[in-house]
Structure 1
Amino acid sequence: MIKYLYVVNNRGELRLVRYYKHYSAEERQQLQTDVIKLCLTRGQDQSTILDYEDYTVVFQKFSNTVFIAGITQDENELAILGLFRHICETLNKYLGSLTELHFIFNLDKVHMVLDEMILNGYIAETSQARILAPLQLLTSAKK
């Protein structure tokens, strides 16, 4: 199960936060600070999969953004790395060339894509066509 998903820039500023498990406000703040610092200080030669408290943290850097997920021990780390790539590819197709600004100005669309892909902390849909179909219908209906 995915406990949380963060997208941050290279300076550690949050661009997207999604929790699939309940945390109090204090726990969220401490978790964000610790995990983001831990991931951004890792070197290029170090693993992008690490243990943190009682679960695993998986992260991957894409140009100027870093995707970070906290997952339970029974979740497949490589599937989460694949999910990161799939999210980027889907957002690239839906929004154009993905940049940090898309997470700022199109946050509602990014959340819609995530809602189609992840349900209650589990990967629900991997077909790019099935993810984008309802979103494109919604976009065309607004015009």
Structure 2
Amino acid sequence: MIQFILIQNRHGKNRLSKYYVPFDDDEKVRLKARIHQLISQRNQKFQANFLEWENSKLVYRRYAGLYFCFCVDSTDNDLAILEMIHFFVEILDSFFGNVCELDLIFNFYKVSAILDEIILGGEIGESNKKSVLERIEALEKLE
């Protein structure tokens, strides 16, 4: 199960955070800072994109200047989560056309809606790219 998702830039500013288990507000602030500190110091050439953290695993991937970080149960498949991160970025790329950090900032509600289409209650709900894009485009027409 996915416990939370963080998207941060290289400087540690949060661009999106989604929690599927309860955390206090103070705990969320400490958590964001600690996770950024952990993953930003890692060497991507020589270290894997997942690490053990407390009683769970952090699976992350860096695209351009953004870190997409998923905290999952320790029993979850690391490679499946990495593939899910890539799937999420592919959908963002298809929807926004070469997605960048500014797209996440100015279209926060759309990014959140895309994430909600893919992940339901901490579990992967939809894995068909065409289906997700059709639903998001239908939501766009309602605006």
Q: Any residues of structure 2 matched to 1:70-81 within 5 Å, and which?
A: 70-81=71-82
Q: Which residue does the alignment assign to 1:34?
A: 34
2:72 matches 1:93: no
Identity within the alignment, %:
30
Partner of 1:123: 124
Secondary structure of residue in 2 paired with 1:57 = strand
Q: Matches of 1:138 and 1:57 in 2, distance apart?
A: 31
Question: TM-score, with normalisation over the residues of structure 1?
Answer: 0.95
Give the equivalent residue in structure 2 for 1:20. 20
State the Cα RMSD in Å.
Answer: 0.9
TM-score by length of 2: 0.95
Alpha-carbon deviation of 1:76?
A: 1.0
The aligned counterpart of 2:133 is 132
Which amino acid is the alignment partner of residue 106 of structure 2?
F
Shift of 1:135: 1.3
**Which stretches in structure 2 are left out of the alignment for 5+ residues?**
none
Find the residue that maps to 1:126 and give its secondary structure.
coil
Q: Kindly report structure 1 stretches of 4+ aligned residues shifted beyond 4 Å.
A: none
CA deviations 1:71-116 (Å, max 9, x no partner) are: 1012111111001110111011111111000110001100010000
Q: Give the paired residue count.
A: 142
Letter in 1 for 2:139: L
Distance 2:29 2:138 in 1: 37
